[in-house]
Structure 1
Amino acid sequence: MYLLILGCMLLFMKYMEVGPPTEWPWWVVLAPFGLAVIWWWWADFSGYTKKKQMEKEDARRKARIDKSREALGMGPKKRR
């Protein structure tokens, strides 16, 4: 996401002729978009995206269980 924001900012600056990007070649200005595509490909290929999704689901599940236990008056599970 950060690469897309950076790419949009550089593209805007180049188009409006503001700041240093006006003198840079187009490939430098458009490079963050290519890097974003490479990042998304790697994240999907390596399983990084799926891992993060599973961690998020596990955290939601644990929060739901803790909330149910609290509602029953049992409190969160304590480790010994």
Structure 2
Amino acid sequence: MAFLLIGLVMLVLRLGGWVEFHKDPFWAWVMVVTPFLLAALWWMWADASGLTKRRAMNEMEAKKAARRAQQMEALGQAPRGSSKRRR
């Protein structure tokens, strides 16, 4: 995500004419496009390595645990070690 934000900032600065990255227009555009290419490479690697799926699974497990804790508390059974335990 950081590469994408950097690329967008560089694109806006380049198109607005506020910053000249290089005297040669070709290399100036190469410098602007590079963060977008790096972002695409990062996303391809994250998908291929399973990083994206692992993060999604961890998030789903955390939601499941929070939902279970909320349901147990609604039943009057606070999680172990909690000071809200009813007797």
Q: What TM-score, normalized by structure 1, do the two folds share?
A: 0.88
CA drift of 1:63 comes to 0.2
Q: For 1:30, which of 28, 33, 36 is the aligned residue?
A: 33
Q: Which has the higher contact order (CA 8 A, sep 6+)?
A: 1
1:21-45: CA deviation from partner (whole Å, max 9, x where unpaired): x133211111000000000000000
Equivalenced residue count is 76
Query: Secondary structure of the residue that 2:53 maps to in structure 1?
Result: helix
Match of 2:79 in 1: 76
Q: Which runs of 4+ in 1 moved over 2 A?
A: none
Structure 1 unaligned blocks of 5 or more: none
**In the TM superposition, what is the alpha-carbon distance from 1:65 to its structure 2 partner?**
0.3
If the length of structure 2 is used for normalisation, what is the TM-score?
0.82
Between the aligned residues of both structures, percent identity stands at 37
* Runs of at least 5 residues in structure 2 that lack an aligned partner in the other structure: 23-27, 82-87
Q: Give the structure with higher Rg (CA).
A: 2
